[in-house]
């Protein structure tokens, strides 16, 4: 066992055009002032990070780390959630996701996908240059429009979707192997990898690729009514990243998991700031510690009610209070009688 590192903060929800959220130096100072020890970088946000430069220049990566270190922070991981989403896009979502891509490839699904693959590969190379070991992303989705089977799905439809998803990701996973980086898919509704079963379907098709790992976020499991603690028991060997995010599911006689097309405030299932939802974080941190999770506890703030800066500051304290400093001895060592083999045999009546 070992103590989980943290607290850290995913910066995607905080980057903006106003200070202190509009530059790498100022946002890292702000995160440190909030009480964080690490930050996870959204690789697509040029206000904070130059992905092209990071993929080709270790000096630039050292500079990025150095600026963070001035505030006492470590870079925990890079994220390509937006680019990973574009590795696989069903045509129904072309318009909705097109804005995630560079302007030069918008409106051209083939060019957009090639751009997305290149982006994720560059982020993996940049992760290596930064001295990291894990990378956060989404899988994208081809089968998601058919998640609820009405009309019934034709035979082979889902299998073909996952075959294609694996074909697209395998070269990326192989590049990740070359870089020594784990690709951690955030298991998330809207992605083809949205629960344990779908993750296993993908894993099988990649030949159980060693780099095809998981980003564990219990909030997405609460909203699916999935056992998020047992999920750790099942997949702990593949969990290499951890987003600390809270949620609540309060179904009524009028709506449940699907939310009735309502805004976040009015859904039965809602993301909440840490401590305001239903996730049993005592259980989550205990299980991850039990299984030797050696990564960072990264706060991902998403809340339909609370101001983000309040959620961030409270989140640092919340994670710090849940980190478990692992014991170096058994609690009953005081009662150790100092036995040996001969004494053990006497106790068993064998002599």
Contact in structure between 250 and 278 (CB atoms under 8 Å)? no
Kindly state the tokens that stand for 101. 């891509």
Kindly state the tokens that stand for 309. 């800066």
> Predicted confidence band at 335 (pLDDT cuts at 50, 70, 90)?
low
Beta carbons within 8 Å of 169's beta carbon, 6+ residues apart: 87, 139, 183, 202, 206, 212
Q: What SS3 class is residue 330?
A: coil
β partners of residue 79: 42, 136
Which of left, alpha, beta for 329 (phi over 0: left; psi -120 to 50: alpha)? beta
Q: Look at strands 182-186 and 212-216 and give their pairing.
A: parallel
The single-letter DSSP state of residue 136 is: E
Distance CA 281, CA 101 (A): 35
Is residue 332's pLDDT more than 90? no
Q: At what angle do helices 196-205 and 157-179 cross, to 10 degrees?
A: 70
Distance CA 136, CA 159 (A): 25
Distance CA 296, CA 89 (A): 30
Average pLDDT on 26-48 reads 98
> Predicted confidence band at 327 (pLDDT cuts at 50, 70, 90)?
confident
pLDDT tens, position by position, 207-244: 999 999 999 999 999 999 999 999 999 999 999 999 99
Which of left, alpha, beta for 35 (phi over 0: left; psi -120 to 50: alpha)? left
Contact in structure between 134 and 241 (CB atoms under 8 Å)? yes
Is residue 248's pLDDT more than 70? yes
What total of structural domains would you count in the chain? Answer: 1
pLDDT tens, position by position, 76-116: 999 999 999 999 999 999 999 999 999 999 999 999 999 99
Tokens 């009610």 belong to: 305
pLDDT tens, position by position, 282-316: 999 999 999 999 999 999 999 999 999 999 999 99
Distance CA 248, CA 303 (A): 11
- Mean pLDDT, the chain, rounded, equals 96
Average pLDDT on 16-37 reads 97
CATH number at residue 41: 3.20.20.150
Q: Which domain covers residue 125, as residue numbers?
A: 5-347
DSSP 56-94: H-HHHHHHHHHHHHHTT-EEEEEEEHHHHHTTSB-GGGH
pLDDT tens, position by position, 124-170: 999 999 999 999 999 999 999 999 999 999 999 999 999 999 999 99
Distance CA 16, CA 329 (A): 47
Contact in structure between 64 and 53 (CB atoms under 8 Å)? no
Contact in structure between 176 and 213 (CB atoms under 8 Å)? no
Kindly state the tokens that stand for 195. 């629960």
Average pLDDT on 256-276 reads 96
Q: Look at strands 134-137 and 296-299 and give their pairing.
A: unpaired
Q: Look at strands 182-186 and 246-249 and give their pairing.
A: unpaired
Kindly state the tokens that stand for 279. 């996730």
| pLDDT of 57 | 98
């Amino acid at each position: 066992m070992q103590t989980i590192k943290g607290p850290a903060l995913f910066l995607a929800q905080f980057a903006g055009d106003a200070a202190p959220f509009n530059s790498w130096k100022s946002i890292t100072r702000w995160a440190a002032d909030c009480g964080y020890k690490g930050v996870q970088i959204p690789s697509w946000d040029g206000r904070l990070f130059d992905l092209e430069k990071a993929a080709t220049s270790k000096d630039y990566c050292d500079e990025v780390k150095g600026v963070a270190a001035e505030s006492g922070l470590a870079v925990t991981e890079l994220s390509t959630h937006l680019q990973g989403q574009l590795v696989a896009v069903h045509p129904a979502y072309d318009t909705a996701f097109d804005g995630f891509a560079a302007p030069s490839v918008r409106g051209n699904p083939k060019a957009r996908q090639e751009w997305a693959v290149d982006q994720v590969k560059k982020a993996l190379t940049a992760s290596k240059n930064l001295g990291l070991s894990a990378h956060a992303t989404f899988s994208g989705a081809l089968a998601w429009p058919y998640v609820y089977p009405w009309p019934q799905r034709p035979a082979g439809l889902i299998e073909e979707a996952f075959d294609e998803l694996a074909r697209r990701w395998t070269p990326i996973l192989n590049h990740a192997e070359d870089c020594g980086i784990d690709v951690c898919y955030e298991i998330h509704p809207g992605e083809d990898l949205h629960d344990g079963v779908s993750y296993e379907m993908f894993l099988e098709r990649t030949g159980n690729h060693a780099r095809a790992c998981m980003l564990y976020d219990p909030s997405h499991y609460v909203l699916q009514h999935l056992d998020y603690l047992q999920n750790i028991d099942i997949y702990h060997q593949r969990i290499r990243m951890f987003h600390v995010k809270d949620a609540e599911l309060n179904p009524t006689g009028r709506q449940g998991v699907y939310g009735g097309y309502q805004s976040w405030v009015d859904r039965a299932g809602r993301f909440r700031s840490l401590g305001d939802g239903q996730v049993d974080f005592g259980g989550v941190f205990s299980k991850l510690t039990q299984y030797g999770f050696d990564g960072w506890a990264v706060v991902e703030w998403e809340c339909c009610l609370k101001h983000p800066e309040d959620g961030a500051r409270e989140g640092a304290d919340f994670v710090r209070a849940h980190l478990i400093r692992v014991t170096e001895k058994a609690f009953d060592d005081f009662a150790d009688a100092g036995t040996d083999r001969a004494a053990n045999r006497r106790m068993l009546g064998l002599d």
